[in-house]
């Protein structure tokens, strides 16, 4: 006979579900929606919400901090908040890449000029005739059937097709270089093994990529 113990190390799932159900935060629509970049301290702020003297004060603090209360899972010593609840790759692909495509095909960046995007769209569809299925599913038409894109389809488009199809298509090449850096970081994350040097490269690389994104894109 022995006592079996279970230890929770990581939590994952749909981004809004993780934020609201596991972390007890306000969620993506909060004034402070991010669960990873609040330098003033996640749990300290949650404790302030818990100890508020009135419901009005609690609601005001929750709105300011983006945290509703201290998560019950914070009592598990092996978990680190919010580091133990990283965003999963599937939802990053389904959120980030469509936004990039929206920016690329909007009223700026050059891809909306003339027939450029139409040619890119058609070329992506045509690749399904020659690329083996072992590399991923045949992607739908990114213009007329975009709602049919799954995380896998976005992944195939981003890592296999877009680096070639977008090459020399921007009026300013810095946007292509920025996209290529993202693809390189994604590929590093998918390695069978990741060295400490590569981990540092991934961490610094994504920070720099996001900072450049905020400079390049008028949000």
The per-residue pLDDT for range 99-130, each reduced to its tens digit, is: 888 888 774 445 555 567 777 778 888 887 78
Q: Which two tokens stand for residue 207?
A: 């920070």
Ordered by start, the domain boundaries in the chain are 15-75, 89-216
Q: For position 205, what pLDDT does the model report? A: 94
Q: What is the mean pLDDT of residues 29-57?
A: 74
Residue 26 has pLDDT above 80, yes or no: no
Residue 24 has pLDDT above 80, yes or no: no
Q: What is the mean pLDDT of residues 32-48?
A: 67
**All residues at 6 or more sequence positions from 197 whose CB lies less than 8 Å from its CB, including other chains:** none
In the structure, what pLDDT confidence band is assigned to residue 11 with cuts at 50, 70 and 90? confident
Q: For position 196, what pLDDT does the model report? A: 92
Instruction: Read off the pLDDT of residues 156-166 as tens digits, 9 standing for 90 and up.
Output: 889 988 899 88
Q: What is the mean pLDDT of residues 67-88?
A: 79
DSSP the chain: ------------S-HHHIIIIIS-B--TTSSS--SS--TT-HHHHHHHHHT-SSHHHHHHHHHHHSB-S--GGGGSTT--TTTTSPPPHHHHHHHHHHHHHHHHTSSSSSTTSTTHHHHHHHHHHHGGGTS-GGG-PPP--TTTSGGG--HHHHHHIIIIIHHHHTTT-SSSTHHHHHHHHHHHHHHHHT-SS--HHHHHHHHHHHHHHHHHHHHHS--
Reduced to 3 states, what is the DSSP secondary structure of residue 121? helix
Highest mean pLDDT among 11-25, 181-195, 205-219: 181-195
């Amino acid at each position: 006979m022995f006592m079996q113990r279970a230890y929770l190390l990581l939590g994952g799932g749909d981004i809004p579900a993780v934020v609201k159900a596991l972390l007890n935060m306000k969620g993506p629509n909060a004034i402070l929606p991010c669960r990873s970049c609040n330098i003033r301290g996640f749990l300290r702020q949650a404790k302030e919400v818990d100890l508020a003297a009135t419901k009005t004060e609690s609601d005001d603090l929750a709105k300011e901090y983006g945290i509703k209360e201290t998560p019950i899972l914070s009592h598990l010593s092996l978990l680190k908040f919010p580091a133990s609840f990283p965003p999963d790759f599937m939802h990053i692909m389904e959120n980030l890449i469509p936004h990039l495509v929206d920016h690329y095909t909007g009223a700026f960046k050059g891809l909306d000029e003339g027939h450029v995007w139409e040619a890119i769209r058609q070329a992506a569809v045509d690749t399904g005739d020659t690329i083996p299925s072992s590399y991923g599913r045949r992607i739908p038409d990114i213009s007329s059937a975009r709602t049919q894109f799954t995380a896998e389809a976005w992944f195939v488009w981003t890592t296999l097709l877009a680096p070639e199809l977008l090459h020399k298509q921007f009026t300013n090449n810095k946007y292509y270089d920025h996209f290529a850096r993202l693809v390189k970081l994604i590929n590093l994350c998918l390695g069978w093994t990741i060295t400490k040097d590569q981990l540092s490269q991934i961490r610094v690389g994504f920070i720099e990529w996001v900072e450049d994104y905020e400079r390049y894109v008028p949000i």
